[in-house]
Amino acid sequence: MGVGERESWTTEEFGASHEGTVGVLLADGSVPDPVFIDMTSAGGGREVSQWNVYDGGDGFVRAPRAAALRAVCSCGWTGPAHTLRWEEYGEQSMAEAAGDIADTCAQEWDVHTVEVERSAVTVPEPLAGLLARVESEIEKLARTAPLAALRAARRLEVIAVQTAYWPALDVSRDATAEQTAAALGLNEDAAYDLLARFGRLSRYH
C-alpha cells in the first residue's frame, strides 16, 4: 500500500528513521489507502493520506470514514488507537472535532522518540555536557556575530569528520548492521550511510 502526502514529524538526530504521523484506522481495523484528489479536468491530481480527509464524505473528496486515530512511526512503532466519536461531532469538520486527538498522537510520538534516545548508546559525561555547552555558546554567538558562529559550526564539522573516521571503521568491522542501528537510534540504511560518510566507505561496497 502506498502512502500519500501527509503531515509528518522528525527529530534532528533521528530524521527519517523515526518519522511520525497521525495514522488512520477504519472500523474493521485496517489502514485505508491514500485518497486521490483530482486537481485538473484532465484527471491529474495527488494522493493524500492526511488524517482529516477520512471523514466519509462523498463530495469533492471521497474518502472512507476513520474509526480511530493513532500515532505511527516509520520504524514500525504505533501508539494506542483513539476512537472517534462521530455521534458527538455534529456539524464540525473532522479537523476541528478530532484536532485534540491528533495532538495527543503527536505527544505520544514525542514520548516514543524520547524512549528511542534513551535506548541509544549513551554519550558519557562530561562529553555530553560539553557538547550541550558548545551548542548553547554557538547559539548565543549567532545572535551577535553570525559569521563567527558559522565559523565555529564549521570547526565542529571538521572535528566530527576527523574524530569519527576510525570509530566508523571499527564499528563497520566489529558490529552488525542491526547492532549499529539500535545503538544510534537509526534504521539500518541510515546507520550505514553514517558509517560510509564518516569512514569514507563506498555506499555500494
All three cell numbers of 116, joined, read 528511542
Q: Quick one: CA torsion of 185, 190, 194, 200, rounded to 10 degrees?
A: 160
Burial 60-87 (b: 16+ CB within 10 A, else e): eeebbebbbbbbbbbbebbbebbebeee
pLDDT of 52 strictly over 70? yes
Q: How far apart are CA 167 and CA 158, in angstroms?
A: 15
Q: Quick one: CA torsion of 189, 186, 160, 157, rounded to 10 degrees?
A: 90
pLDDT of 39 strictly over 90? no
Bridge partners of residue 72, in order along the sequence: 21, 78
Q: What number of other Cβ atoms are within 10 A of residue 156's Cβ?
A: 14
Q: What number of other Cβ atoms are within 10 A of residue 142's Cβ?
A: 15
pLDDT digits (tens, 9 = 90+) for 115-147: 999 999 999 999 999 999 999 999 999 999 999
pLDDT-based confidence at residue 60 (cuts at 50, 70, 90): low
Quick check: helix, strand or coil at residue 20?
strand
pLDDT digits (tens, 9 = 90+) for 78-107: 999 999 999 999 889 999 999 999 999 999
By DSSP bridging, strand 20-25 and strand 82-83 are unpaired
In this structure, are residues 7 and 22 in contact, taking their beta carbons and an 8 Å threshold?
yes
Q: How far apart are CA 85 and CA 40, in angstroms?
A: 34
Choice between 143 and 37, residue whose per-residue pLDDT is larger: 143
Q: What is the arithmetic mean of pLDDT over 65-90?
A: 96
